[in-house]
Structure 1
Amino acid sequence: MTRTIAIFGYGPGLGVGTARRFGKEGFRVAIVGRDAERASRNADHLTAEGIEAAAFAADVTDAGQLQKAIDDITATLGPIDVAVHGAAADPSARTPSTLEVDVAALSIPITLKLHSPILLTRALAPAMIERGDGALLFSSGSSERHLLPYLANFGVALAAQRAYVRQLHAELRGTGVYAGLLNIGALIGNSKAERLVDEHPELVPPGIELPRITNAELGDHYWRMYTDRTHDELDVGFPA
């Protein structure tokens, strides 16, 4: 039976790598992004590679748009077997130091990396539990695991997301539904963040070296998490 993976917040880095890896295994791919035309082009690229794909437009932080995308995916491709929440904010939304973090500075990262995953889980988990199978995969960055004051507002949000996913993983044990968090400690190849840092190296404080990781490697890691279904999180790309 052909399965469906839905990638929410699809981009040229994590999204492409994950779509290709799961598509290679015979999954249909639902691409979800804010820009309908871009999502359609991304679906066409996958189709040209021999992967069955369809595009859906939604802002993953908007509950109504998210639910409509899920309903449309289900009607078009069938039930969502695997959901990947890979949405990421522009690095320009960072705060330059912990001392400059205020409530307003947390709005974007908290909405994107905590509220949106909660919305996605509440929309998908009940049906997955009823079927006795499914996977909810989330992405994180390095600022929660390492002290990076120039990314302080994101670090706070990612810490909250990590706590949520780990609790979710524990509570779903025995239901057939897996929840896991991929902690990415490197710039993702072909991603918007990588291009932005390359064009504006001043965004990264002096003395900080950012390792790189390919989108194909990340796709492999997500596939491993999905098939192993053991740990609540996996760290990749962090310096030894």
Structure 2
Amino acid sequence: MTKTLAIFGFGPGLGMGTARRFGKEGFRVAVIGRDPDKARRHTDQLVAEGIDAAAFPADVTDEAQVRDAVDRITGAFGPIDVAVHGAAGEMADRVPSTLAVDVASLATPLALKLHSPILMTRALAPAMIERGDGALLFTSGNSERHPLPYLSNFGVALAAQRGYLRQLEVELRGTGVYVGLLNIGVLIGDSRAERIVDEHPELVPPGVEIPRMTNAELGDIYWRLYSERDRVELDVGFAD
């Protein structure tokens, strides 16, 4: 039976690389993004490459839209077997230093990296538990594990996300539902972030070197995380 992958917060970097890798394994792909036109363009690209895909536009930080997207996907494809949460912020959402962090500057990072993963989990976990099978995969960054003051507001949100997911993994042990977290410390090929940094290198503080990885390489890593299921977290691009 064909399985379904749903990517919440689909983008041209990690989303496309992951979709192609799972599509190569015969998965259907549900493309979930806030911008309907972008979601459809990404879907058209996957379909042109021979992958069974469809767009389900939704704001992944809105509970009603997340649940509606899940209903539409299951109506079109059947149960969601694997969900990837890949929503990320914009460079403009960051603050310049830890001392500049205030409550307002945490709103977007928390919405994207804590609240939205919770919404996805609550929409999908009960059915996965009932079936005794499923995978919930999440994307994080390196500003929580390797403090970067110019990304400090996201570091706070990522720390909260990690705490939630570690607890979730413990609670779901023995249910057949796998929880995995991919901590990414690289610029992803073809991503919006890579393009912005290339166009505006001044956005990266002097002395900070950010390694790069293609979206295909990250797709392979996500596939390994899903298929091997031998760890909760996997780091890529982190300094020793």
TM range (shorter): over 0.9
Task: Tell whether the 8 Å contact from 1:31 to 1:54 is kept in structure 2 after alignment.
Answer: yes
Look up the match of 1:103: 103
Look up the match of 2:123: 123
SS in 2 for 1:118: helix
Q: How far apart are the structure 2 equivalents of 1:239 and 1:134?
A: 32
Look up the match of 1:204: 204
Look up the match of 1:54: 54
Q: How far apart are the structure 2 equivalents of 1:101 and 1:135?
A: 34
Q: Determine if the alignment matches structure 1 residue 218 to structure 2 residue 218.
A: yes
Task: Tell whether the 8 Å contact from 1:165 to 1:232 is kept in structure 2 after alignment.
Answer: no
* CA displacement 1:27-50 (0-9 Å, x = unmatched): 000000111121111111111111
4+ residue runs of structure 1 moved beyond 2 angstroms? Answer: none
Q: Determine if the alignment matches structure 1 residue 157 to structure 2 residue 126.
A: no
Map 1:14-53; keep pairs closer than 5 Å. 14-53=14-53
Q: How far apart are the structure 1 equivalents of 2:51 and 2:127?
A: 25
* CA displacement 1:95-134 (0-9 Å, x = unmatched): 1000000000100000110000001101100000000000
Q: How far apart are the structure 2 equivalents of 1:198 and 1:206?
A: 15
SS in 1 for 2:6: strand
Q: Determine if the alignment matches structure 1 residue 172 to structure 2 residue 172.
A: yes
Q: How far apart are the structure 2 equivalents of 1:141 and 1:220?
A: 18
Map 1:135-150; keep pairs closer than 5 Å. 135-150=135-150
SS in 1 for 2:174: coil
- Counterpart residue identity of residue 102, structure 1: D
Gaps of 5+ in 2: none
Task: Tell whether the 8 Å contact from 1:94 to 1:151 is kept in structure 2 after alignment.
Answer: yes
CA positional deviation for 1:239? 2.8
Q: Determine if the alignment matches structure 1 residue 69 to structure 2 residue 77.
A: no
Q: How far apart are the structure 2 equivalents of 1:190 and 1:131?
A: 36
Mean CA deviation greater in 36-45 or 90-99? 36-45
Task: Tell whether the 8 Å contact from 1:109 to 1:153 is kept in structure 2 after alignment.
Answer: yes
Count of residue pairs the alignment pairs up? 240
CA positional deviation for 1:207? 0.5
Q: How far apart are the structure 2 equivalents of 1:199 and 1:44?
A: 27
TM-score when scaled to structure 2? 0.99
SS in 1 for 2:56: strand
Identical-residue share of aligned pairs (%): 73
Q: How far apart are the structure 1 equivalents of 2:44 and 2:117?
A: 27
CA positional deviation for 1:92? 1.3
Q: How far apart are the structure 2 equivalents of 1:54 and 1:35?
A: 14
Aligned alpha-carbon RMSD (Å):
0.7
TM-score when scaled to structure 1? 0.99
Mean CA deviation greater in 33-42 or 22-31? 33-42
Look up the match of 1:88: 88
Q: How far apart are the structure 2 equivalents of 1:170 and 1:224?
A: 21
